Amino acid sequence: MKDLLRVRNLSVGFGLQGGEARVLDDVSFRVRPGSTVALVGESGSGKSTVARAIMGLLPRNGRIVDGRILLRGAHTGFDWAAADAHLKHLARIHRPDLDGVVDLADHDPDSPRMRAIRGGHVSMIFQDPMSSLSPLHTIGNQIGDVLGLHTDLPRREYRPVIAAMLELVGFPDPARAVDLYPFELSGGMRQRAMIAMSLIAAPGLLIADEPTSALDVTVQAQILKLIQDLKARLGMAVLLITHDLGVVAHMADEVVVLYKGQVMEAGAAEDIFRRPAHPYLKALFKALPRLSTDRATRLVPLREVKSRTAHLLADKPVWPAAADDAGPLLALDDVDKTFTGKKKGWLGAPRTTRHAVNGVSLAIRRGDNLGLVGESGCGKTTLSKIAMRAIEPDAGSIRFNDHGRIVHLDRLSAREMIPYRRRMQYIFQDPASSLDPRMTVFALIAEPLRIHDIGDKAFRVEMVKELLTLVGLDHKFMNRFPHSFSGGQKQRIGIARALALQPDLVLCDEPVSALDVVVQAQVLNLLKDLQKALGLTYLFVSHNMAVVRYMCDRVAVMCMGRVVEEGPTDRIFDAPTHPYTRALLAAVPDPDGSGDWLSKAGPEPRTGAGDPAAWPAPFAIAGDAVATMRELGGGHRVLVGTGGPLPEAAA
């Protein structure tokens, strides 16, 4: 066998009360040495089950019914003895290789031999680094555990080896990072720590299960570029599990498309993207928003969500024709918010302050969608919560158009704000954690009606039925609990709850970031349909630039608490002016696979791009220096710091 891994006719079943459910059915594919193979499909297609079967990590009720998982030992791992000077500490790791070909399907998952293979020869990066890392132990201790299990290195030599690996995966201060806890790291750095832990024993095969699904576009580019570089440098192969076809187009040599536990199509990545043959794969491409997608073009999901309005939802106060002349539906003027950190110890360093939102001014006209984009930590969510006064601003004003009467929300007391809470509602990022698992669907959706004392029990029952029908769910589900729904269904329940009070403005905080491409298309189309049917206005917070282009009329780009560029969507995407906006767009992988995206995005897209002091003139901003928005015409504005003329293309 020349392949590093060969999966032959793999079938996996899960034991349930009514019998056994077949989760994988006759799955076959290969992974060649040094190659990247992508497993693609929507949630529930069996991608992660394949990975867990290879690793011997199936749940207790899961078993391999049939098939073989063949792993070849020859040429597995990396020859640390031939490592360059940068890897001299890692050259001290010694681990015996496998003897010939091993069938992982025949091994007891709890046997010592399988434990030696798991992590030592085949390693895995899990989707959520925060839940995969122990919050009670330092990064160094957790990586050291892997060294202890899979190498014969003396414990006294762990620290320099761990520091060398952390340096290899891009930690700026690896010696200090050894002693840090996971909560002290950003999402991107936690994922780098997971990669370091996975590679410390020099496995021949790395399984990456959705390694960037929770990360913004620039950090995603960093992590994927890192995996590519390490693959080439350490001589390993990668099995990439993802639903992001843009990532697959630029990362994979071969692609395996799964649907309901079966392989629909497999082959070289170029053939899969240039000449898709199976209807399911063609449907995946149609459901995918792209940077070039026109807002007038409707996404085509595999299963469309049918929504219908009824008389209760239609019974909404009429918006006066002249009310729009009074001003935008929501306006933020020079909003500021600073957070103060905790002091460490009695004699520790003084409290630090961070400008989460710095002099931001935005306006949303009724019926428009404003997209708020930027990297994690730039202040998008803080600004959206300030808009509805879930967070109090330190300075600035919040104006709301109440049917032609301008109300300064920042001047209202908590009691005076209650009527306006009904006018603005929030759709949260994670549908699972935003729904109380102890409440039924009826109780969850009816809760806003109960809090605001709207209607009697019969009215609330009828309203919940209408809301469920509106978001494409059967009202027979009213007495079920959230755990019995899929991720897309949970998000639709969250949307129904947000619409229960018939708001004018809906703040959408990453509403599709946790969803696969198929469910994402369903939810985006649903949001568009609801906007037309109910006269909604959206503030759409996202780091997915393709989704923002599909959904939004205007875009505001945030960095380090400031809006650096704002304007009509087409102008921002087709002719970006600010260097940070250009860096964000360069970090978006295009599903057509054209060009070398990873090289263009660079190994560290944030270097310079995310540092206001490093921006070129006239955009550079030193510290808290005053910066102004310069009008470019047509509602297009850009933040200017040091002054001076704009580049010719921008001007």
Give the pLDDT of residue 606.
41
Note the pLDDT of residue 607: 44
Pairing of strands 237-242, 205-209: parallel
- Is pLDDT larger for residue 185 or for residue 37? 37
Phi-psi region of 48 (alpha: psi -120 to 50; beta: other; left: phi over 0): alpha
DSSP 366: T
> pLDDT band at 238, cuts 50/70/90?
very high
Strand order in the sheet with 395-402: 353-364, 330-340, 395-402, 405-408
Residues 104-144 have pLDDT tens digits of: 999 999 998 888 888 888 999 887 766 788 989 999 999 99
Share of the chain above pLDDT 70, in %: 90
Tokens of 371: 């997209």
- The structure tokens listed for 290 are 């792209």
Average pLDDT, the chain: 85
Write out the two tokens for 132. Answer: 């995969």
Q: Report which of residues 344 and 259 the model is more confident about.
A: 259
- Residue type for position 579: P
State the burial class of residue 431 (Cβ atoms within 10 Å of its Cβ: 0-12, 13-18, 19+). Answer: buried
> Taking 90 as the threshold, does the pLDDT of residue 592 lie above it?
no
Query: What would the mean pLDDT of 40-59 be, rounded to a whole number?
Result: 91
Crossing angle between the packed helical segments 579-586 and 217-234, to the nearest 10 degrees: 50
Q: Give which of 203, 212, 191, 270 is closest to 237, Cα–Cα.
A: 203
With contact defined as beta carbons under 8 Å apart, do 551 and 295 qualify?
Answer: yes
Cα angle 225, 377, 620; round to 5: 85
Taking 50 as the threshold, does the pLDDT of residue 604 lie above it? no
Could you tell me whether strands 424-427 and 36-40 are parallel, antiparallel, or unpaired per DSSP bridges?
unpaired
Structure tokens that stand for 646 in this block: 């704009």
DSSP-assigned beta bridge partners for residue 340:
353
- Fold match, 5-286 / 297-339+350-367+394-536: yes
> Closest Cα to residue 463, out of 426, 427, 496?
496
Residue 424 pairs with which residues in a beta bridge?
Answer: 505
Spatial contact of 37 and 238, defined as CB atoms under 8 Å apart:
yes
* Six token digits for residue 37: 């193979």
Beta-sheet pairing, 562-568 with 636-640: antiparallel
Q: What integer pLDDT is reported at residue 277 of this predicted model?
A: 93
Q: Nearest to residue 249, comparing CAs of 38, 479, 496, 31?
A: 38
Rg of the chain over Cα atoms, rounded to whole angstroms, equals 26
> Rounded CA gap, 189 and 367, in Å?
39
- Lowest-confidence range among 411-415, 440-444, 587-591? 587-591
Helix (H) or strand (E) holding 5: strand 5-16
Over the stretch 352-376, which tens digit does the pLDDT of each residue have? Answer: 677 889 999 999 999 999 999 988 7
Q: For 578-602, what is the mean pLDDT?
A: 72
Residue (of 525, 487, 38, 548) closest to 287 by Cα position: 525
Say if residues 428 and 438 touch (Cβ distance below 8 Å).
no
Residues in the chain: 651
Read out DSSP for 131-146? Answer: HHS-TTS-HHHHHHHH
Cα 161 from chain centroid (whole Å): 31
pLDDT (average), residues 253-271: 94
User: Per the CATH hierarchy, to which homologous superfamily does domain 5-286 belong?
Assistant: P-loop containing nucleotide triphosphate hydrolases (3.40.50.300)
Q: 3-state DSSP call for residue 19?
A: strand
Using an 8 Å Cβ cutoff, are 565 and 576 in contact? yes
Distance in angstroms (rounded) separating the CA atoms of residues 540 and 548: 8
pLDDT tens per residue across span 523-557: 899 899 889 888 899 999 988 888 999 999 999 99
> Which residues share a beta bridge with 406?
401
43-67: burial string, b at 16+ Cβ within 10 Å, e else: bbbbbbbbbbbbbbebeeebebeeb
Q: Residue 92's pLDDT is what?
A: 59
Distance CA 525, CA 330 (A): 24
Question: How many C-beta neighbours within 10 Å does residue 71 have?
Answer: 25
What residues contact 90, with CB distance under 8 A and at least 6 apart?
80, 83, 161, 164, 165, 168, 202
Predicted structure pTM score: 0.84
CATH code of the region 297-339+350-367+394-536:
3.40.50.300
pLDDT mean over 570-596: 82
77: confidence class by pLDDT, cuts 50, 70, 90: very low
* Chain mean position to CA 421: 28
Tell me which residue has tokens 């070289």: 268
- Percent of the chain, pLDDT > 90? 44
- Asked if residue 274 has pLDDT above 80, the reply is yes
On the 0-12 / 13-18 / 19+ scale of CB atoms within 10 A, 637 is: buried
139-150 and 158-168 helices, crossing angle to 10°: 110
Mean pLDDT throughout 335-346?
A: 73
Cα(279)–Cα(262) distance, integer angstroms: 14
| Pairing of the two strands 330-340 and 353-364 | antiparallel
- Could you tell me the two tokens for 331? 């306006």
Q: What is the mean pLDDT of residues 584-593?
A: 77
Residue type, 231: K
Residue 488 has pLDDT above 70, yes or no: yes
Cα–Cα distance between 387 and 615 in angstroms, integer?
29
- For residue 3, what are the CA distances in angstroms to 256, 257, 258, 276? 16, 20, 21, 25
Q: What is the DSSP letter of 179?
A: T
Q: Can you give the residue ranges of every domain in the chain?
A: 5-286, 297-339+350-367+394-536
Q: Are 239 and 207 in contact (CB under 8 A)?
A: yes
Check residue 95 and give its pLDDT. Answer: 56
Q: Across 213-346, where does the E strand assignment appear?
A: 237-242, 254-259, 262-268, 330-340
